[in-house]
Homo-oligomer: A and B are copies of this chain.
Amino acid sequence: MDSTTAREQALAAAREQALDAAEELFYARGIQTVGMDDIRGASGVSLKRLYQLFPAKELLVEAYLKRRDVRWRQRLAEHVDGYEEPGRRILAVFEWLGQWFTEPDFRGCAWINSYGELGATSPRVVAQVRGHKGAFKDYLGGLVTAAGLPGALTDQLFLLAEGAMVTAGITRSAEPAEQAGEAARVLVEAQRR
């Protein structure tokens, strides 16, 4: 009764396997140092199929960032949704960052890293990075206005979160999350006068 043929299912499965491998390798080792052959080796998807699904490496990179963006923001939202009180929900963002930073394979923000690597050469990557950061900031903005706080606060909290991500990545520590969270608490408090 479903409209997908067996072949379409196989393609979709291969696509997911390819993206799983791409995400693991690109995030861990960077994009340029991972070859299409590495993706094939890690995913079990043949080169022929890989190029059938993603006609060029850049498109695989784009799809990797796109899928990771959805999942990342989903995980964040799930954590935040564990709280009701609007002010608490804002701080939950930094709390979640701290959890993320302590994951064993944490290697910084995938988008910031990708931008550093390909921002000067790949417009598709740039678009993904701007899109992701814009979506994250919009999400923060929603939390801020839901708490009845002024929109200007959004930018400040966003910068704290970005600073925490970069710094946690570079120093390989989770501390920045707490430091940013504390600063966020102060900034929110200041707005409430």
A-side interface residues toward B, CB under 8 Å?
28-30, 32-33, 107-108, 112-121, 129-130, 133, 152, 155-156, 158-164, 166-167, 169-171, 175-176, 179-180, 182-183, 186-187, 189-190
CB distance from A94 to the nearest CB of B (A): 11
A179–B159 alpha-carbon span in the complex (Å): 8
Q: In the bound complex, do residue B119 and residue A108 qualify as a contact, i.e. CB atoms below 8 Å apart?
A: yes
Q: In the bound complex, do residue A115 and residue B169 qualify as a contact, i.e. CB atoms below 8 Å apart?
A: yes
CB distance from A52 to the nearest CB of B (A): 28
Q: Cβ of A33: which chain B residues have Cβ within 8 Å of it? A: 120-121
A121–B116 alpha-carbon span in the complex (Å): 14
Q: In the bound complex, do residue A163 and residue B158 qualify as a contact, i.e. CB atoms below 8 Å apart?
A: yes
Which listed residue (B30, B112, B186) contacts A187, Cβ 8 A? B186
Q: In the bound complex, do residue B186 and residue A190 qualify as a contact, i.e. CB atoms below 8 Å apart?
A: yes
Which listed residue (B116, B130, B160, B190) contacts A114, Cβ 8 A? B116
CB distance from A93 to the nearest CB of B (A): 14
A176–B155 alpha-carbon span in the complex (Å): 8
Q: Cβ of A114: which chain B residues have Cβ within 8 Å of it? A: 116
Q: In the bound complex, do residue B119 and residue A113 qualify as a contact, i.e. CB atoms below 8 Å apart?
A: yes
Given the known interface contacts A129-B170, A169-B115, A187-B183, the answer about A29 and B120 at a Cβ–Cβ threshold of 8 Å is yes
Q: Cβ of A176: which chain B residues have Cβ within 8 Å of it? A: 155, 159
Q: Cβ of A108: which chain B residues have Cβ within 8 Å of it? A: 115-116, 119
Specify the chain B residue showing the minimal Cβ separation from A155. B179
CB distance from A68 to the nearest CB of B (A): 15
Q: In the bound complex, do residue A29 and residue B162 qualify as a contact, i.e. CB atoms below 8 Å apart?
A: no
